[in-house]
Amino acid sequence: MNELVHTLIPWVAGAVILMLFIDVLLTIIKLVQGPSVLSRALASDLLVSSLICAVGAQMVLSRHAWSLPMLVTLALISFVGTVAVSRFVARDSDDDGAAAALERHRRQELARKNPRDADIPAWFARDRKDAP
């Protein structure tokens, strides 16, 4: 059984390297072509995930764990970067700005008519009979 494992390790390692190479190549193409900021951010996140997989596969093949802090750090940086980009794009979106402006206007109207109703959510105010 042990001989079989030692015989298969180079084949599995070659397959992993080939799949990661194809993944990184397609991700770089998407990163360059991406029609929007969000698709480019997703491609860069996928690129970091591929790097994490490559380092993890190298850890398994070398049978060591000293790269584990690097994996955790890469995952954290990738997560924070993705959240930052998504918040930036969400704030920059016209659709979200229009919805926020409409909600602000609704709250101002409610506060003008009845100051105690200014904090009622829109979905609740619609169901009330005395709501505008």
pLDDT in tens, 106-120: 777 877 777 665 566
pTM attached to this predicted model = 0.64
HSE-up of 89 (CA within 13 Å, CB side)? Answer: 13
Contact 38, 89 (CB under 8 A): yes
Q: How far apart are CA 45 and CA 35, in angstroms?
A: 16
pLDDT, tens only, 21-68 = 999 999 999 999 988 888 888 899 999 999 999 999 999 888 889 999
pLDDT recorded at residue 60: 87
- 105, burial (CB in 10 Å: exposed 0-12, middle 13-18, buried 19+): exposed
Domain spans, the chain: 2-81, 93-132
pLDDT recorded at residue 103: 77
Four-residue CA torsion sign, 49, 44, 97, 95: negative
pLDDT recorded at residue 119: 62
Torsion of CA 106, 111, 115, 118, to 10 degrees: 30
What DSSP state is assigned to residue 36? S
Which structure tokens are listed for 8?
Answer: 């298969």
